[in-house]
A and B are shown apart, each in its own frame.
Chain A
Amino acid sequence: MTAAPVALVLVSHSATLAEGVRELAAQMAPEVLIIAAGGDGAGGLGTSFDLVEQALGEATADGRSAVVLTDLGSAVLTTESVLELLDEDVAARVHLADAPFVEAAVAAGVTAAGGAPVGEVLGAAVAAGAGFPHAVGAGGVEPEAGAAGEPSASPAAAAAPAEPHHAGETAAPITAHVVVRNPMGLHARPAAVLARMMAGFDAAVQVDGVNGASVLELMQLGATQGRTLEVSATGPQARVAVDAFVGAVEEGFGEV
């Protein structure tokens, strides 16, 4: 199932590493085509021009765009070399993200799963490397970030937790509280479920002060069973977003 218009290509020196990260991201973003292009193609460590070329060809088929994530330096060089020889119209749809391999794969995957355009997926990948949210403010999957194809919307430009974007449209945020029920708390899978759900609403959602549409920020809350979360939202779909959030947490993500 590859309904998403943006694919991810993971270029690593290690086939095992690329495949492992693919598996991790795919669990949270099953709708997204994620291709692992790791190793030298002959069972050893290294990057392979042919593997990357093949991966980019597959990723950009059917008019898709692709965001490429790399590990060490020569993975970048190999990818750039492939781009140098690709047709220009194909190369123009491929974007290299300067981002941490694992975190960006998860963040970009979840964003792509929501059907986001390539600028936004790239923005999510880059923001994943901007540091932890408590250090930089809301730096995650802010819907506006990169919507115009700008990959590097700075974290500071994203919505500050205390002043949501849509403050001018609705008088006050819709706020609710919900207790985490499932034994393992907001680990990766539930965080991804919530982030994708929140990204789908026309609303700016904050959960305990972090961006509710960012899988990384939700995970970093470290919310365990029994914790009370405050969810607040502004924007046209604020009410339905908050209700959906509360409902999903109360259901325990199928883990209770």
Chain B
Amino acid sequence: MAGSLDAGWAVAWARRTAQVVTENRELLIELDRQIGDGDHGENLTRGFTAVLAKLDALEEQPADVGAVLKLVATTLMSTVGGAAGPLYGTAYLRAAKVTGLPELDSGAVVAMLEAGLEGIVVRGKAGTGEKTMVDAWTPAVEAAVAASDAGASPAAVLAAAAEAARAGAEATTPLVATKGRASYLGERSAGHQDPGATSSALVLEAAAETAAAIA
């Protein structure tokens, strides 16, 4: 059905994510070089390029949103080195488990985002304020819940989540990292935007853009 967040949208989201991650490869590499090991942009580009190849090889459209997200999850886990593979992989995997639906309404979008955040928290064991992906995903989920409660459409829920994720990512700049590779820098990690939070915002912005395009 045109305009609904179905498997076709999920495929478009994954393809758009591959595009924006590739476009922002240098930015992510640079952010990660400042406080980590510099591989985040390279790793994510490799992972989502592999996702594109998997999507291209599909003989028929997956039946539901969850099937697409699971394909993304397993591909990222296999192809993204570093911590990003397991973290994003688990986020997509948990999200896939609650989206075995032909299409997502606003409540299902919220459930998907909540499951993604849960996956990242379970795997990374980070809380908010630790300069990680969690600092983008947590405000995104909160904004999605508020929008859904206010009766927003699925696309508007994603738009609210993406906006909050971007703001959350930008707010990581002054933070001192206590998790992940950046934590080895201690105080010196302050003053740099977190690469994982930044790529998280890109992923959620891709979701919102592709939803808006069909709304």
Contacts and interface: CB of A to CB of B under 8 A. Distances in A.
B83 A49 contact: no
A46 B89 contact: no
Contact of A73 (B77, B93, B180): B180
Interface in B71-91: 74, 77-79, 81-83, 85-87, 89-90
B81 A84 contact: no
B85 A78 contact: yes
A214 interface: no
Best-surrounded residue of B87, B123, B124 (most CB of chain A within 10 A): B123
A84 B87 CA distance: 12
Contacts, number: 50
A40 interface: yes
A46 B77 contact: no
A109 B149 CA distance: 56
B54 interface: no
B81 A81 contact: no
A74 B82 contact: yes
B138 to A, nearest CB: 19
Best-surrounded residue of B81, B85, B89, B93 (most CB of chain A within 10 A): B81
A251 interface: no
Interface string A47-59: 1111000000000
A77 interface: yes
Given A46-B39, A49-B78, A81 B85 contact: yes
Nearest to A72: B181
Interface in A97-156: none
A108 to B, nearest CB: 23
B81 A77 contact: no
B74 A77 contact: no
Interface of A (DSSP majority class): helix
Interface string A216-237: 0000000000000000000000
Q: How large is the interface on B (under 10, 10 to 19, 20 to 34, 35 or more residues)?
A: 10 to 19
A78 B78 CA distance: 9
A23 interface: no
B183 to A, nearest CB: 9
A44 interface: yes
B81 A44 contact: yes
A18 to B, nearest CB: 14
A81 B123 contact: yes
A85 B74 contact: yes
Interface string B95-136: 000000000000000000000000000011000000000000
A80 interface: yes
Contacts of A84: 90, 93
Interface string A18-57: 0000000000000000000000100011111110000000
A46 B81 contact: yes
B172 to A, nearest CB: 18
Nearest to A82: B77
Given A73-B181, A81-B85, A81-B86, 15 more contacts: A44-B81, A45-B81, A47-B81, A48-B78, A49-B77, A73-B83, A74-B85, A74-B86, A77-B86, A77-B123, A78-B85, A80-B123, A82-B77, A85-B74, A85-B77
Interface of A: 40, 44-50, 72-74, 77-78, 80-82, 84-85
17 contacts: A44-B81, A46-B39, A46-B43, A49-B77, A49-B86, A74-B81, A74-B82, A74-B85, A77-B83, A77-B86, A77-B87, A78-B85, A80-B123, A81-B86, A81-B89, A82-B77, A84-B90
Interface of B: 39, 43, 74, 77-79, 81-83, 85-87, 89-90, 93, 123-124, 180-181
